[in-house]
Structure 1
Amino acid sequence: MGNKRHRPEEIVTKLRQVEVLVGQGMARIDAVREVRITEQTYYRWRKQYGGMGTDQLKELKRLQKENERLRKAVSDLTLDKLILAEAAPGKLLSPARRRACIDHVRSQMKVSERRVCRALGQHRSTQRRQPRGRADEKRLVADMIELARQYGRYGYRRIAALLRGAGWQVNDKRIERLWRREGLKVPAKQPKKGRLWLNDGSCVRLRPEYHNHVWSYDFVHCRTDDGKVFRTLNILDEFSRECLAIKVQRKLNSGDVIDALSDLFILRGVPTFIRSDNGPEFVAHAVRDWIKAVGAKAAYIEPGSPWENGYCESFNARFRDELLDGEIFYGLREAQILIEKWRKHYNTKRPHSALGYRPPAPETIVPMDRRPVMH
């Protein structure tokens, strides 16, 4: 009778035909043979479709399709849930992260690229796109790494400022992306700061308003390789953030403070205020009388309140972090040379965040009154 596969409509038709033949008096076995099926097939069909009309068959087919659709929807939702669970936790904001996540999911779950892209919201053209960097990216990365190696305590913002100073047309976001891609990082150590306030809400701290308005100075201790201590006297102009001088000696007393200030007063003029802490070298009668005699005013901070001398304290921290903690000084003379070299770099090249990432006293800027007049 052949191996033809009958459709449900054909099965119902044959069952009705058998019923008609039986109703006309024909034996059931003969009626089954008349419609060209076996007896076993007849009873199987009758058990599944017996007594069913054409409309009922259509409704059955509709319910079967709806059931199949719901089963497929549940399966898809379950698979999407498994894909999202396998994906990286958190939001996948960049196409590169989505590409890497999709590759990871496909390797773990053996599902198609189309399915994973749909579940994670990634367009397939974006997934297949091979990212190409700019033509100058290799040279830019090389220069960035060289600056990071040379100035190991600088973050990507200062490195970006140095690159722009060298002629690169780049912004901070591009340098940050390359910085992260290359695995460069500077450990952030941000101590908490405080301020000394009066009862009326006003701050005790004297704020600089112009050049030579407020100078500040302080001592920093360090050691040479043989274990002997040396001290540095750091003098700053708080308004321009320029380091005016760093005097390096084994011992520094009030006389050395007067000598350092005298040289600067001759070269730069007398400031209005000189801020310092209450160390014995600064509160000595000789220093106080001399400062008063030259026409300046001493602005001593409150005892135990180093944050009032915040400009100098911040400079000392950068000085120690970027130079003293990373160098071995085999002698006092070597320390004097290297510290003076770093001071010039700090003033003329190092980008300062408080100055819009410009150095305090860049060598490339010529004052307006000193530029040659063209005739």
Structure 2
Amino acid sequence: MLKVVKLGRSTYYYNLSVEGKEKAAPKGGKPKGYSINIDSIKICDDQIKEFILESINGDAINYGYRKITHHLRRYYNLIINHKKVYRLCKELKILKEQRVIKSKMKRVIAINKIITGSNQLWEMDIKYGYIEGEDKFFYILNLIDIFDRSIIDYHMGLHCESKDAAALLRKCLIRRNLFEEGANKPVIRTDNGPQFVSYKFSACCEELGIEHERILVKTPNKNAHVESFHRILEDECLKINEFQGYAEAYRVVNEFMEFYNNRRIHSSLRFMSPNEFYNLYFGENLTNIEIRV
């Protein structure tokens, strides 16, 4: 019969066993309205609320309900748990706002690659300069194409934040005509600086459809091309100039960037400048020139 009606035997016999039985009373009950202290004296909830208000007007001004619980136990000798304190604080409307826990951005570790053309892998990093006359530092955020060694663009200023890194990335895509949807975007490689691990920069890469990979800690060799450029920048520009003001530093660095991209020859680029090499071999995959990173 059970097979005909497609009913399991266990279901049938379970229903028989519970049929006619009264429903069990719900577990739990109303709050008692009091707690006790270490001397077993009852303290009503209204009095505990007064203790809580006294606490947050004193030493516990910035405490959450868990710390208030320990405060009540230590200074008022109450035997009370954090759940009740939470309920009382909620009734008093003094609960602190919960912090928003952001989901962690996926971290992609830099892996070994073989680069055979421009716009396949870009590296980004920050170099610091010093202004002697004003006794302060400035930042130069550079983005280099590791194949043609071009500094596609850079950001220079007295601060360097994640929004500056995101803006620089967008400018470089526009310069290389890669901003449009559907274009083959390069991989961007950085270290683990605060500008690059930020949600703003990660969200920018996700929006642009760019893969962002970060090198492991203490492995600057994985970012070798931009680090090499920074050594050139230090030796041929920053070290030999004592800047008296930010305007002078900006002018000298800008002139050096133009010299580096358009006139400074590289032996690895067949003794051409970066822009000359890029314009000559743009769009070609040179199998006889392979860069392993």
Report TM bin, short chain: 0.5 to 0.7
CA 1:229/1:364 → structure 2, altered by over 3 Å: closer, same or farther?
closer
Residue 365 of structure 1, CA deviation:
6.5
Partner of 1:248: 156
SS at match of 2:217: coil
2:145 counterpart of 1:237: yes
1:358 pairs, out of 245, 259, 272, with 272
Residue of structure 2 equivalent to 1:277: 191
Q: Name the structure 1 match of 2:167.
A: 259
Partner residue, 1:210: 117
Structure 1's consecutive aligned runs of 4 or more residues displaced over 2 angstroms after TM superposition are 203-209, 362-369
- Give 1:304's aligned amino acid: K
1:332 and 1:241 map into 2 onto residues whose CA distance is 27
The answer to whether the aligner puts 1:325 opposite 2:239 as a matched pair is yes
Change in Cα spacing, 1:308 to 1:364, as seen in structure 2 (3 Å) is closer
Structure 1 distance, partners of 2:226, 2:282, is 30
Report matched runs for 1:73-84 at 5 Å: none
Q: Quote the residue 2:255 is aligned against.
A: 341
Q: 1:367 to 1:283 in 2, by over 3 A?
A: closer
* Contact preservation (8 Å) 2:118, 2:282: no
What's the offset of the Cα at 1:207? 3.7
Distance 1:230 1:319 in 2: 14
Q: Report Cα offsets for 1:293-326 as digits up to 9, x if no partner.
A: 1011001111110100011111111111111111
Match runs of 1:116-155 below 5 Å: none
Percent sequence identity over matched residues? 26
Q: SS of the counterpart of 2:115?
A: coil
* Aligned residue identity for 1:230: F
Q: Secondary structure at the match of 2:275?
A: coil
Aligned positions of 1:85-104 closer than 5 A: none
The 1:297–1:324 alpha-carbon spacing in structure 2 relative to 1, beyond 3 Å, is same
CA distance in 1 between counterparts of 2:244 and 2:173 reads 32
CA apart distance, 1:209: 2.5
TM-score of the pair, normalised by structure 1? 0.42
- Give 1:366 deviation, angstroms: 7.2
User: Whole-Å Cα distance in 2 between the matches of residues 365 and 272 of structure 1?
Assistant: 18
Could you say which residue in structure 1 is the equivalent of 2:205?
291
Within a 5 Å distance, the mapping from 1:35-46 to structure 2 comes to none
Q: Which residue of 2 aligns with 1:224?
A: 131
The structure carrying a bigger helix percent of its residues is: 1
Q: Which amino acid letter does the alignment assign opposite residue 266 of structure 1?
A: I
Partner Cα separation in structure 1 for residue 221 and residue 282 of structure 2: 36
2:228 aligns with 314
Does the residue aligned with 2:196 lie in a helix, a strand or coil? helix
Question: 2-side partners of 1:305 and 1:368: how far apart?
Answer: 30
CA change 1:306–1:321 in 2 (3 A) is same
Cα distance in 1, alignment partners of residues 225 and 200 from structure 2: 25
Tell me, yes or no, if the aligned pair for 1:348 and 1:363 is still in contact at 8 Å.
no
Deviation at residue 208 of structure 1 after TM alignment: 2.6
Q: Which runs of 5+ in 1 are unaligned?
A: 1-202, 370-375
Q: Distance in 1 between matches of 2:165 and 2:144?
A: 13
Q: CA RMSD in A?
A: 2.4
Q: 2:215·2:223 contact (CA, 8 Å) conserved in 1?
A: yes
Where is the strand percentage greater, Structure 1 or Structure 2? 2
| One-letter amino acid matched to 2:249 | A
Matched residues, number: 167
Using the size of structure 2 for normalisation, the TM-score is 0.53
